[in-house]
Structure 1
Amino acid sequence: MRTAVITVASSARREHLDRQRRMLAEVAGDIVRVEAWLDETLPDGIRDADTVTLHVPPGPHGFRVGEGRNRAAEAAMTAGAELLVFLDVDCLPGPDLLTGYRAAADARPGALLAGAVTYLASVQRPESASDLPFLTRPHRARPALPVGGTRAATPAEYDLFWSLSFAVTPATWNRIGGFHPGYEGYGAEDTDLGWTARARSVEMRWIGGADAYHQWHPVSSPPWQHLDDILRNGAAFFERWGEWPMGGWLEAFAAAGAIERRGDGWVRVR
């Protein structure tokens, strides 16, 4: 099954991307690698002969992550990919990530496939894919299945779709319609795609063994640097679906006195 690995990248994550590239070379055979760069201009020295490189510059409100993935998926399908594997720039492929997704796609070609994700600690800087199984500690928010195990997501579990690692066949991608282009900057595009898949009766399946490993970088909780993005994208999501996403973060911002509820919306407290 000819497989594309799709990554949206930026110069701020260059070190993460270099490590991902090295590990993909270890675990992958004949793949189509597609990178969509989101910076204002393409950084120097990022092209290589084995990669399809696209440039999707930011919109007025920030990076267009969903649109970058959409364009990369189109390029991958044009190149003949039979399976689209999306892997965020700060994620590393486990030794069985591609084989796990391929086996699941063979068995369930119409499903949205989601593997487990381990969040690495700051001191964990693996240099080889063979190091990764010893670091496996799947995030507790989502099901973790044994290698080769799969199960269908419940309707409520579509809220747990994370785009940092997932796979679909081209037919399923087209059925979902890709990411909604109305989100810029941080937040909501993942939940929107999961809800779109559910609304279009696309099965989502948890895939055991298709492990990805999120490389450490500094974060805050709640993500204060993304507050305005979360309010803007959350409002766009509400317009589409009648509910606000990222409820835990909104409540944390409200508890800190930064935002308040007004009618159906959330606004900054000035």
Structure 2
Amino acid sequence: MTTAVLTVASSGRRDHLARQRRVLAEVAPDIVRVEAWLDAAPPAGIPDADTLTLHVPPGPHGMRVGEGRNRAAEAAIAAGADLLVFLDVDCLPGDGLLAAYRSAAAAHPDALLSGAVTYLTSVQRPGRAAELPPHTRPHRARPSLTAGRTRPATPAEYDLFWSLSFATTPEAWARIGGFHAGYEGYGAEDTDLAWTARDRGVEMRWVGGADAYHQWHPVSSPPWQHLDDILRNGRTFADRWGSWPMGGWLDAFAAAGAIERRDDGWVRVR
């Protein structure tokens, strides 16, 4: 099985990308590697000679994360990949991640496959594959299975899909149709992909042993810097699916007096 690992990147994540490249070289030297760069300018002095490097510049409203992943998938399939593993630039692959996804894809080639993610703390800075296992503590909001096990997601669990780490065969990817191009900037493209998969009868499966480790970076809660993106992308999602995503963030913004509910949507009031 020819495996491609696909990452969307930007200059703001140079250090995270460097660690990801180093760990990938340890655990997966035989992969097709694709990086889609989302900055306005093409990357300078960063691309790896063994990597297929794409440039997907921002749209009018921000970085096009979903479209970057779509283009990366196209390049990987053209290069002969039988399995597409999408790994966020902040994530380091555990030494069992690729084997777990390959095994799950062989058994369930028509499924959207989702592994567990551990969020590292600010003082946890592993840079080698051997340093990762002691930090394993999968996020409790999503199912975590033992290595070698998979199980189908319930219909409600499609809401828990993350694009931090997931995998599909090219055939399953074609059935889903990739990420919707209408999302720019932060938010909603993950849930839209999962709902599209569910709508088109694509099974989602939780995959044990496919552990990824999210490198720490500063965050705000709620993410005030993304408020306008959340409102815009939330509106796009609501127009497509009839309900608003990211309800927790919307409630937090509303409680702070920044937005309010009007008719069937949310609007900014300050």
Q: Same fold, TM exceeding 0.5?
A: yes
Partner amino acid, structure 2, of 1:203: E
Residue 236 of structure 2 aligns with which residue? 236
Partner SS state of residue 137, structure 2: coil
Residue 141 of structure 2 aligns with which residue? 141
Which residues of 2 match residues 255-270 of structure 1 at below 5 A? 255-270=255-270
Which residues of 2 match residues 183-222 of structure 1 at below 5 A? 183-222=183-222
Shift, 1:29, TM fit: 3.0
Q: Which is further off, 7-16 or 45-54? A: 45-54
Which residues of 2 match residues 30-69 of structure 1 at below 5 A? 30-69=30-69
Structure 1: distance between partners of 2:163 and 2:179: 10
Residue 81 of structure 2 aligns with which residue? 81
Unaligned runs of 5+ in 2: none
1:126 and 2:126 aligned: yes
Residue 254 of structure 2 aligns with which residue? 254
Structure 1: distance between partners of 2:35 and 2:29: 17
Shift, 1:44, TM fit: 1.2
Provide Cα deviations, 1:222-241, integer angstroms capped at 9, x if missing partner.
11110000000000000000
Residue 157 of structure 2 aligns with which residue? 157
Provide Cα deviations, 1:137-171, integer angstroms capped at 9, x if missing partner.
00000001001111000000000010010000000
Shift, 1:108, TM fit: 0.4
Aligned-pair Cα RMSD in Å = 0.5
Structure 1: distance between partners of 2:16 and 2:51: 16
Residue identity over aligned pairs, in percent, reads 80
Unaligned runs of 5+ in 1: none
Partner amino acid, structure 2, of 1:228: D
Partner SS state of residue 132, structure 2: helix
Structure 1: distance between partners of 2:208 and 2:266: 38
Partner SS state of residue 178, structure 1: coil
Residue 12 of structure 1 aligns with which residue? 12
Number of residue pairs matched?
A: 270
Which residues of 2 match residues 108-127 of structure 1 at below 5 A? 108-127=108-127
Structure 2: distance between partners of 1:202 and 1:92: 27
Runs of 4+ in 1 over 4 A off after TM superposition: none
Structure 2: distance between partners of 1:246 and 1:155: 18
Residue 2 of structure 1 aligns with which residue? 2
Partner SS state of residue 23, structure 1: helix
Structure 2: distance between partners of 1:61 and 1:49: 31
Residue 179 of structure 1 aligns with which residue? 179
Structure 1: distance between partners of 2:223 and 2:27: 33
Structure 1: distance between partners of 2:99 and 2:213: 16
1:72 and 2:72 aligned: yes
Q: What TM-score do the two structures reach when normalised by structure 1?
A: 0.99
Residue 27 of structure 1 aligns with which residue? 27
Partner SS state of residue 42, structure 1: coil
Shift, 1:42, TM fit: 1.3
Provide Cα deviations, 1:185-241, integer angstroms capped at 9, x if missing partner.
000000000000000010000000000000000001111110000000000000000
Structure 2: distance between partners of 1:43 and 1:50: 15
Structure 2: distance between partners of 1:162 and 1:214: 12
Shift, 1:47, TM fit: 1.8
Structure 2: distance between partners of 1:212 and 1:225: 26
Shift, 1:85, TM fit: 0.1
Q: What TM-score do the two structures reach when normalised by structure 2?
A: 0.99
